[in-house]
Structure 1
Amino acid sequence: MIKKIDHVVITTNNIENCISFYKKLGFTSKEMNKKYELYTGDFKINVHIKGNELSPHNKNIQTGSADLCFEINKNIDETKKYLKQNGIQIEQGIVERIGVFGKMKSIYLRNPDRNLIELSSYGE
């Protein structure tokens, strides 16, 4: 019955910092009537501002409580170099993990709200 994830929702304290961070990762952004969306590939992230969430919403809203993994389409070593060149601090990696398609290599970082972001590659 379920085909795939269409979108996830994160909550931020600072929309400008949040949007800027995800743009560095290759997302495009849209804003309409104080609704913020980030797009990449075939899914999106809806971004709620803490204290101004859309309804219905999570019962226990927290910033920094998400743990998201994104599959990348670049070499993991090139990605690590790109992150460093763009001032994005790496928390851990490159490490080997197991994803939906088997072994992958991952880099961990945090967005401005301290959510854990995993960038993973099944190649090289």
Structure 2
Amino acid sequence: MIDHLDHLVLTTAKEAACIDFYTRVLGMQLESFIGGTPPVERKAFRFGNQKINLHIKGKEFEPKADIPTPGSLDLCFIADRPLNEVMAKLNQVQWPIIEGPVIRTGATQKINSVYVRDPDQNLIEISELTT
């Protein structure tokens, strides 16, 4: 019945820092659009064929998760470049790696991963597929 993930929603308490992390550090594209109930200007981070919609803590709109909470996500992204280049970029922008590289089990195969935290303390795993 389900084919793939289209988007997910991230709730942040630190809008400016969150936008900085997902755009400057991870290289996602910030976009604005009109949506929600009632229709309001919204923001999202686009990467590949997916996006992360942004909710601001205390300014959420319907429909939303029952208890939207900054810092409750644990996300894994597959990088578009080798993991050593990802680590070099994180070091260049002085974003601390909290674990890795380590081998993990991904959705389709083994992955080599590093872990960081975003400004809301969500756990972000950045991975490369292994052969």
* Deviation (angstroms), 1:123: 4.1
In the alignment, structure 1 residue 31 sits paired with structure 2 residue 32: yes
Counterpart of 1:77 in structure 2: which amino acid?
N
C-alpha contact (below 8 Å) 2:9/2:53 kept by paired residues: yes
* Deviation (angstroms), 1:31: 2.5
Unaligned runs of 5+ residues in structure 2 are: 34-39
2:6 maps to what in 1? 6
C-alpha contact (below 8 Å) 1:95/1:107 kept by paired residues: yes
1:102 maps to what in 2? 109
Distance in structure 2 (CA, Å) of the matches to 1:15 and 1:30: 14
What is the aligned counterpart of 1:119 among 103, 111, 126?
126
What SS does structure 2 have at the residue aligned with 1:90? coil
What SS does structure 1 have at the residue aligned with 2:98? strand
Q: Which runs of 4+ in 1 moved over 3 A?
A: none
What's the C-alpha RMSD, in Å, of the aligned pairs? 1.2
Counterpart of 1:27 in structure 2: which amino acid?
M
Distance in structure 1 (CA, Å) of the matches to 2:92 and 2:130: 22
C-alpha contact (below 8 Å) 1:75/1:123 kept by paired residues: no
Render the CA deviation track for 1:70-115: whole Å, top value 9, x for unaligned: 0012111111111011111111110000101211100100100000
Unaligned runs of 5+ residues in structure 1 are: none
Tell me the TM-score normalized by structure 1: 0.94
Distance in structure 2 (CA, Å) of the matches to 1:94 and 1:55: 39
How many residue pairs align between the two structures? 124
2:91 maps to what in 1? 84
